[in-house]
Amino acid sequence: MLIRGLSRLIVIVGPLLILGYIVFVYVDGHSKLEQTVDWHRGFKSHNENAPSSMNNDHKPTQDESLPAIHDADNRDNDAPTLPSLPTQEPLPSPASPKPESGTNGAIHLDPKLYREVFSLTTADKKYFKVDFGIDFPGMNPNIIPHPREDDKWIIVASKVETDRAKDFKPLFEEIACSAAFQKDGTLACVTAPSILPVQPTQSDNCKDDIAHYNLSIGPHDMRILYGPDAPFAIFGSQSHYACFGLWAQDFRTLVPEAFALDAPNIEFLKEGTEIQRPPPWGPIEKNWFFFWDAQGQVYAHHDTVPKRVFAQMAPDGSVGPDLAPLAGTDEKCMGKYMPKVTASAVEAHEESLHQATNSLAITLCKRSDPLCTPTDENTFIMQIFQHKRVYNFHPVYEPYVMLFQRTAPFAVHAISTKPIWIHGRGLMAEDADATKWRSDEEDLIKMHSEMFYVTSMSWKKHGLRYHGHIDDPLFLAFGIEDVRSAAIDVLAGDLLLDLGLCKDV
């Protein structure tokens, strides 16, 4: 009888023990998989967070400055919605997108939660492709007006390795060409793409856990932007002060055929120059941008979170002290309007906030208005930062706009109260051609929106450089799933319709 009872017990309990073991191995294995990253992936995609400091012993705690995230409510699990927005009231945790019935999986977008922007020129109001040709796939594009031809633009992107396993080279390159709009709306190269002649750098600071970055040669995550007088390239490369830092160079020296007439006038950043920062340095520095004040002095903006860091910049790349503490109203304003992210979520690489684009100066009245005159009271510096969330190892980015003063102390003026949604962004699908999910259709992340990563913004109209007005069209350029390039043309004012003003805090 005892043996028979034990047999019955084994029949019941045995499968449960096996099932528990499988679940343990699956979860723990995926945890280890997330932590085991190819040495080159941190710069070939935006899925990898850079280490936050040279000393990796410090771990943020729940008591530190990042605000707490909200608890989930009891909404219907069968009808997931897009991530909720930051407000003063608690909101549910982010959920997956919801396909709208009868629309072939189109995303149902709640206008209370997102500001959707539409193309000014495409027939369907969706974004358009940025195409470098079949032999030069590019991701994370940049667009600036061509200096001589009013129907062309210069486009730049990171060259994509089409087969990393078989044809991977430890050399990173940026490609550029002159481009024009085609009949189908695509912005495509009309000259053969060329590799930008950026000089590689070396560093003795990539050691121990990040020693593999010594093999990561060439420019990374390049941003092309116009200042008040000239275009510049900012890119990551091995650093004299950290493992990886930010370098800058007058863009005209990299594409001399387009800017031949300007060559005698190039002085500032004529060669690749490393930009410095107020201490402390992190081992991997990324996503800095330049901004110019009303007098044309250039500054480097290093961080937006967990607190702003920016400094005046000299021609040799050195910087003065951190000026952000002088903007005494920033903490209260950012505390109200910035998306809420916990320190634990940052530590777990589940969420983060970071700078994304270059800056532009914008006057908050219309160029077409004869009474509109740019002043320090109506003209601000505009940047885009992004809120990154990771779902089942798939990152999703939501862009927000921040405006700050163009005169000292450069305090924050306003922040988007809802993220921007680019019309045409859809659900993850096989034709998205995401690197991670391209092998098997069943591996696709179900019910997830595509990863759009906004990389740059620029005025669309030829002749405009750094400064514009709310009725001027601009380009938002972005990468899709780290394999494709695209952009959308919108009125600048369309990005500013949901601002929370710091003066109201």
Q: What contacts 233, CB < 8 A, 6 or more positions away?
A: 156, 174, 196, 198, 219, 222, 223, 224, 248, 249, 250, 251, 254
| Strand partners of residue 133 | none
Q: What is the mean pLDDT of residues 9-24?
A: 47
When comparing pLDDT for 46 and 501, which is higher? 501
Which pLDDT belongs to residue 353? 97
Indicate whether 99 pLDDT > 60. no
Which pLDDT belongs to residue 137? 87
Which pLDDT belongs to residue 394? 84
Domain assignment present for residue 264? The answer is: yes
Indicate whether 216 pLDDT > 90. no
Q: What is the mean pLDDT of residues 161-181?
A: 76
Which pLDDT belongs to residue 22? 42
Asked if 505 and 333 count as a contact pair (C-beta separation under 8 A), the reply is yes
Q: What is the mean pLDDT of residues 488-502?
A: 98
Least confident of 73-77, 94-98, 405-409: 73-77
Which pLDDT belongs to residue 53? 40
Q: What's the CA gap between 503 and 329, in Å, rounded?
A: 9
Q: What is the CATH number of the domain that holds 228?
A: 2.115.10.20
Q: Give pLDDT tens digits for 21-73.
A: 444 433 444 333 233 223 333 344 444 444 434 433 333 333 333 332 223 23
Which pLDDT belongs to residue 429? 59
| CA angle, residues 356, 360, 363, in degrees to nearest 5 | 135
Q: What's the CA gap between 383 and 256, in Å, rounded?
A: 28
The predicted model scores a pTM of 0.79
Which pLDDT belongs to residue 349? 86
Indicate whether 377 pLDDT > 50. yes
Indicate whether 457 pLDDT > 70. yes
Indicate whether 180 pLDDT > 90. yes
Domain assignment present for residue 367? The answer is: yes
Domain assignment present for residue 3? The answer is: no
Domain assignment present for residue 36? The answer is: no
Q: Give pLDDT tens digits for 283-320.
A: 999 999 999 999 999 999 999 999 999 999 999 999 99
Q: What contacts 351, CB < 8 A, 6 or more positions away?
A: 69, 341, 342, 345, 387, 388, 389, 390
Which pLDDT belongs to residue 445? 53
Which pLDDT belongs to residue 27? 40
Strand stretches in 132-230, DSSP E: 138-145, 153-159, 174-181, 187-189, 194-195, 220-226
Q: Are strands 128-131 and 187-189 parallel, antiparallel or unpaired?
A: parallel
Which pLDDT belongs to residue 496? 98
Asked if 220 and 239 count as a contact pair (C-beta separation under 8 A), the reply is no
**Residue 498 CB neighbours (<10 A):** 17
Domain residue limits at 469? 41-70+79-504
Nearest Cα to 222, choosing from 207, 211, 233, 210?
A: 233
**3-class DSSP state of 33:** helix
Least confident of 102-111, 172-181, 386-395, 468-477: 102-111
Domain assignment present for residue 353? The answer is: yes
> In this structure, which amino acid lies at residue 500?
G
When comparing pLDDT for 2 and 232, which is higher? 232
Which pLDDT band holds residue 262 (cuts at 50, 70, 90)?
A: confident
Q: What is the mean pLDDT of residues 226-243?
A: 97
Least confident of 2-16, 88-102, 107-121, 389-403: 88-102
Least confident of 27-31, 347-351, 477-481, 485-489: 27-31
Give percent of the chain with pLDDT exceeding 70: 73
Least confident of 181-185, 264-268, 270-274, 313-317: 264-268
**Residue 412 CB neighbours (<10 A):** 26
Q: What contacts 295, CB < 8 A, 6 or more positions away?
A: none
Q: What's the CA gap between 301 and 18, in Å, rounded?
A: 54
Nearest Cα to 326, choosing from 345, 300, 344, 307?
A: 307
Q: What contacts 433, CB < 8 A, 6 or more positions away?
A: 481, 483, 484
Indicate whether 473 pLDDT > 70. yes
Cis previous bond, 147, omega within 30: no
Residue 284, class by beta-carbon neighbours within 10 Å (0-12 exposed, 13-18 middle, 19+ buried)? buried
Q: What is the mean pLDDT of residues 184-204?
A: 95
Domain assignment present for residue 2? The answer is: no
Quote the mean pLDDT of the chain.
81
Domain assignment present for residue 299? The answer is: yes
Which pLDDT belongs to residue 343? 87
Q: What's the CA gap between 381 and 228, in Å, rounded?
A: 12
Count the domains in the chain.
Answer: 1
The full DSSP string for 96-160 is ---BPTTTTTPBP--TTT-EEE--SSSTTS--EEEE--TTS-EEEEEEEE-SS-TT-EEEEEEEP
Q: What contacts 65, CB < 8 A, 6 or more positions away?
A: 306, 307
Which pLDDT belongs to residue 195? 95
First-residue to last-residue Cα distance in the chain: 76
Using the structure block, give the residue that is written with the tokens 């991977």.
Answer: 168
Domain assignment present for residue 399? The answer is: yes
When comparing pLDDT for 391 and 461, which is higher? 461
Q: What is the mean pLDDT of residues 221-249?
A: 97
When comparing pLDDT for 37 and 336, which is higher? 336
What's the token pair of residue 51?
């280490």
